[in-house]
Structure 1
Amino acid sequence: MIKKGKRRKIAWGITGSGEKLVETVEIMEKMKEKYKKEFDVRVFVSKAGDQVLKYYNLSNTLETIFDKTWTEINANAPFLAGQIQLGSFEFLLLAPATSNTVAKISLRIADTLLTNAAIMGQKTSTPIYIMPTDFREGTVTTKLPNGRDLDLKITRADAEHVEKLAGMENTFVFEYPDDIPIIFKKYSV
Structure 2
Amino acid sequence: MTEKLKVAWCITGAGEKLTETYAIMKDIKNLYGDRVEINVFISKAGDQVVKYYGLYRDLETSFDRKWVEINANSPFLAGQVQLGKYDFVLVAPCTSNSTAKISLRIADTLITNAVIMAQKASVPVYIMPSDYSEGVVVTTLPNGKKLELKITREDVEHVKRISRMDDTEVFSDPHHIYKIFEKWTYPKEEK
TM over 0.5, shorter chain: yes
The reply to whether residue 62 of structure 1 matches residue 54 of structure 2 is no
Identify the match of residue 142 of structure 2 among 142, 145, 157: 145
Computed over aligned residues only, the root mean square deviation of the Cα atoms, in angstroms, reads 0.9
- Where structure 2 has 5 or more consecutive residues not aligned to the other structure, the ranges are 187-191
Q: Which digits, 9 at most, give the CA deviation of each residue in 1:32-71, with x for residues without a partner?
A: 1111232100000000000000110110111111130000
Q: Which runs of 4+ in 1 moved over 4 A?
A: none
Alignment partners' CA distance in 2, 1:111 and 1:101: 10
Q: Which digits, 9 at most, give the CA deviation of each residue in 1:138-162, with x for residues without a partner?
A: 0000011111000000000000000
Matches within 5 A, 1:123-138: 123-138=120-135
Q: Which digits, 9 at most, give the CA deviation of each residue in 1:109-138, with x for residues without a partner?
A: 000000000000000000000000000110
Identify the match of residue 112 of structure 1 among 96, 109, 115: 109
Contact 2:28 2:178 in 1 (8 A): yes
TM-score for both structures, normalised by structure 1? 0.96
* SS of 2:138 mapped into structure 1: strand
Identify the match of residue 161 of structure 2 among 159, 164, 168: 164
Contact 2:5 2:185 in 1 (8 A): no
* SS of 2:175 mapped into structure 1: helix
Identify the match of residue 179 of structure 2 among 158, 177, 182: 182
Matched to 1:148, the amino acid is: K
Identify the match of residue 24 of structure 2 among 23, 27, 38: 27
- Where structure 1 has 5 or more consecutive residues not aligned to the other structure, the ranges are none
Matched to 1:127, the amino acid is: P
Alignment partners' CA distance in 1, 2:46 and 2:65: 16
Match of 1:71 in 2: 68
Q: Which digits, 9 at most, give the CA deviation of each residue in 1:80-123, with x for residues without a partner?
A: 00001111111000000000000000000000000000000000
Alignment partners' CA distance in 2, 1:72 and 1:28: 20
TM-score for both structures, normalised by structure 2? 0.95
Matched to 2:65, the amino acid is: K
Alignment partners' CA distance in 2, 1:69 and 1:184: 20
The reply to whether residue 81 of structure 1 matches residue 74 of structure 2 is no
Matched to 1:96, the amino acid is: P
Percent of aligned positions that are identical: 58
TM-superposed deviation, 1:9: 1.1
